[in-house]
């Protein structure tokens, strides 16, 4: 990253609230301030969370990546050849999902 991005991140680490999420210029990528815990001080983390058409996160909590090693480990897991087959099988086993936000009262019959 550039020095340009470094300063706002430093300010967010100092002034942001615990668990606060900030958007980035990359859709679905957020910065989250993690609170201090026991001997660990507050840190920033990257959150990967798919967004809707308005740019809002679609999940309550996304995938948190705290350092480069986390990123590499997730990349390796996601590349595993059996993962896609497992997800397809789960999709066949799970009951169909109900679309949110669309109820009969929302429909206008013509």
- Give 23-81 pLDDT, tens digit per residue: 888 899 999 999 998 888 999 999 999 998 888 899 999 999 999 999 999 999 999 98
pLDDT for 101 beyond 70: no
Q: What region, left, alpha or beta, does residue 2 occupy, with left being phi > 0 and alpha being psi -120 to 50 degrees?
A: beta
Structure tokens given for 42: 């507050």
In a domain, 18, yes or no: yes
Number of domains in the chain: 1
In a domain, 106, yes or no: no
- Structure pTM? 0.74
In a domain, 57, yes or no: yes
- How far does CA 93 lie from the centroid of its chain? 26
In a domain, 72, yes or no: no
In a domain, 84, yes or no: no
In a domain, 24, yes or no: yes
Q: How confident is the model at residue 2 (pLDDT cuts 50, 70, 90)?
A: low
Kind of pairing between the strands at 29-34 and 43-48: antiparallel
Which secondary structure element, helix H or strand E, spans residue 73, and what is its range? helix 68-79
pLDDT for 102 beyond 70: no
CA atoms within 13 A on the CB side of 22: 17
Q: How confident is the model at residue 1 (pLDDT cuts 50, 70, 90)?
A: low
Per the model's pLDDT, the better-predicted residue between 106 and 24 turns out to be 24
Residue 4: what pLDDT?
Answer: 75
In a domain, 11, yes or no: yes
In a domain, 14, yes or no: yes
Task: Residue 43: give the domain boundaries.
Answer: 3-66
Mean pLDDT of 9-27: 91
Q: Which residues contact 16 (CB under 8 A, 6 or more apart)?
A: 22, 33
68-79 and 81-93 helices cross at what angle (nearest 10)? 70
């Amino acid at each position: 990253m550039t020095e340009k991005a470094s300063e706002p991140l430093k300010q967010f680490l100092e002034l942001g609230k615990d668990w606060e999420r900030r958007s980035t210029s990359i859709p679905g990528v957020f910065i989250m301030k993690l609170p201090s815990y026991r001997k660990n001080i507050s840190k920033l983390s990257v959150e990967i969370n798919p967004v809707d058409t308005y740019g809002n996160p679609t999940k309550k909590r996304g995938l948190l990546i705290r350092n480069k090693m986390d990123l590499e480990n997730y990349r390796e897991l996601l590349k595993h050849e059996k993962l896609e087959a497992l997800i397809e099988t789960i999709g066949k086993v799970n009951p169909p999902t109900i679309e949110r936000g669309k109820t009969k009262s929302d429909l206008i019959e013509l």
